Amino acid sequence: MKINKKKFVYLISPNKIPNSFYNNLKLVLKTGKVGFFQLRLKSYSHNKKMIIGEKIKNICKRNKVKFIINDDPLLTLKLNADGCHLGQKDMNIKTAKKILGKKIIGITCHNSMSLAKKAVKAKADYIAFGAFNQSKTKKTKHVASVNILNKVKKFTKIPTVAIGGINSVNYKNLLLNNANFLAISGYIWKNKKYKPIEAIERLK
């Protein structure tokens, strides 16, 4: 998987998709800073995810952004998305690979080197670590430090994604410590100070 240093944002959807979302997404993706967009909707029905997913997929395609589905290989296949992100409690990567073929599969590794080595062995396309900071989007169960990003780079070239409470104040430190992509949600979509386009433009 190629790494484009300019496209370092791995953008995750808000939990709810209002009508204003699509226009904001177009503006945010046009900045050229987003490499991936992940659809993560826990409380929507399958049909609703299909409708929302189709719209988002088209916006991603126009902006050359990889469209990823959270924890659902079958939905990934139905939407013909670029790939799927799997947590440790989701389907295992071998089964997912049988369903998805050559599509991208990313794996959550929390703060664990052994989970990272397992994911690398299973030929994951990227590995995600966190939380590096407190997040308002998700409860923090695992805390990670930049040491793990630096350690991982000593044994694999697989791209790494840093997760957890990332904003314009703390993002640079993660990029300087071997994170290839930064998974960001709340800072863009729930920012009380800045609109989504203003928030992303602060990540220079």
Q: What is the pLDDT of residues 182-192, one digit of tens each?
A: 999 999 999 99
pLDDT at 134: 81
Q: How large is the average pLDDT for residues 136-162?
A: 88
What's the pLDDT tens digit per position in 6-19?
A: 999 999 999 999 99
Q: Is the pLDDT of residue 141 over 90?
A: no
Q: What length is written for the chain?
A: 204
Q: How far apart are CA 94 and CA 150, in angstroms?
A: 27
pLDDT at 60: 98
pLDDT at 2: 78
Query: In one letter, which amino acid is 181?
Result: F
Q: Pick from 68, 53, 82, 65: which is nearest to 29 by CA?
A: 65
What's the pLDDT tens digit per position in 84-103?
A: 999 999 999 999 999 999 99
Neighbours of 112 (CB within 10 A): 16
Q: What is the DSSP letter of 95?
A: H
Q: How far apart are CA 186 and CA 95, in angstroms?
A: 31
pTM: 0.96
Are 28 and 196 spatial neighbours (Cβ–Cβ below 8 Å)? yes
Q: Pick from 166, 159, 177: which is nearest to 202 by CA?
A: 166
Tokens of 159: 């791209």
Q: Is 161 exposed, middle or buried (0-12, 13-18, 19+ CB in 10 A)?
A: buried
